[in-house]
Copies of this chain bind each other. A is one copy, B any other.
Amino acid sequence: MKLNELDTPSLLLQQDRMTRNIARMQAQLARKGVALRPHVKTGKSIDVVRRMLDAGASAITVSTLKEADYFAAHGVKDILYAVGIVPAKVAHVAELQRRGVRMTVILDSVEAARGLAQAAQQQGVCIPALIEIDCDNHRAGILPDDALLLDIAAVLHDAASTELHGVMTHSGASYDKPGEAAIRAVAQREREAVLQASQRLKAAGYPCPVVSVGSTPTALFGEDFSGITEVRAGVYVFFDLVMAGLGVCAVDDIALSVLTSVIGHQPRKQQILVDAGWMAMSRDHGTASHAVDQGYGLVCDLQGKPIGDLIIAEANQEHGVIMSRSGAALDLAAYPVGMRLRILPNHACATAAQHAQYQVVEGASEQVTATWQRFNGW
């Protein structure tokens, strides 16, 4: 099938770009001598994740237990569930463990540790857990110097139903400032935070086999990973306009796009209307605070090449409104009704989540070479 024969909107995955992105991350972390545990929440497809694993990764990170179920069914044996565990989810984790998966969970309080220990005991299993460290005031975790660290460690270490497995952090701040120097500084803080926590654990006589960090920007621009045992990163597999805006990738590294059809024009407003609205693109406007605001996506031709400064400036459910970012007049006749365009997304995880499959293309070819299923939900 050709791009002109697909229904619109459709989600396209340019495989050569994805292959290059995977190789880049793997090469960077091989150089640094640290293992990669890819986050699969971006792809949610064995066809995507198999290529991440084939490139050298052996374990994965998930954001939902549905991801864990699915990838376990596809043979993945080592899974980190990187959202704070609650007692009601422990039976599900235990069931995965009984299926032969090494499931690790995370938490950041004595209360959650006790809840895990009790629920795991009821299930008759022993579950390894990482203590989440807050390296940048971003979201979850305890500060690396918090007295609670040793209290949580004591609960996990002493209970027969839990195993203190180490520490982890995620530097959400790596999305805040563009440029290699800024991201390198964030990566340094990320590393120092978990190292400090792991040293405190070891000094108190606790084991800390895992010291885990992660984000695509810090993974790619971090200089020093000594003392770190694994890096988690996900969005690098596709990249997106947020990553490009941060200087982490180039626009032509972005492997994901939405195929759309022109459905009309508004000459008075110099607008082109397309059938990719927020349902196809997501409502993510992650470049809104960037130097270059990409609206709800950057408009490309069928070969994936950006067309001037055209963006999806506004989005309704099934309508996207294309305008020039600079407000320049458009040659509307060059975009007839029915013409197809490709839109690069702000946030690959969010845009992919609006679709049930990837239509795979290679380079500038308009031939679809494969259709890969993906899943959503919980």
Contacts and interface: CB of A to CB of B under 8 A. Distances in A.
Interface in A351-378: 353-356, 376-378
A261 B85 CA distance: 10
A180 B64 CA distance: 43
Nearest to A111: B337
A366 to B, nearest CB: 14
Contacts of A89: 7, 261
A9 interface: yes
Nearest to A275: B83
Nearest to A85: B263
A318 interface: yes
A264 B317 contact: no
A29 interface: no
Contact of A140 (B134, B273, B279): B273
A262 interface: yes
A63 B337 contact: no
A89 B261 CA distance: 10
A377 to B, nearest CB: 5
A303 to B, nearest CB: 19
B378 A337 contact: no
B108 A139 contact: no
B321 A139 contact: yes
Nearest to A286: B283
A6 to B, nearest CB: 9
A282 B376 CA distance: 13
Given A337-B111, A338-B88, A172 B10 contact: no
Contact of A84 (B63, B263, B350, B376): B263
Contact of A377 (B88, B108, B355): B355
Query: Closest 9 interchain pairs by CB?
Result: A84-B263, A283-B283, A86-B338, A63-B318, A84-B264, A112-B337, A283-B284, A86-B261, A356-B377
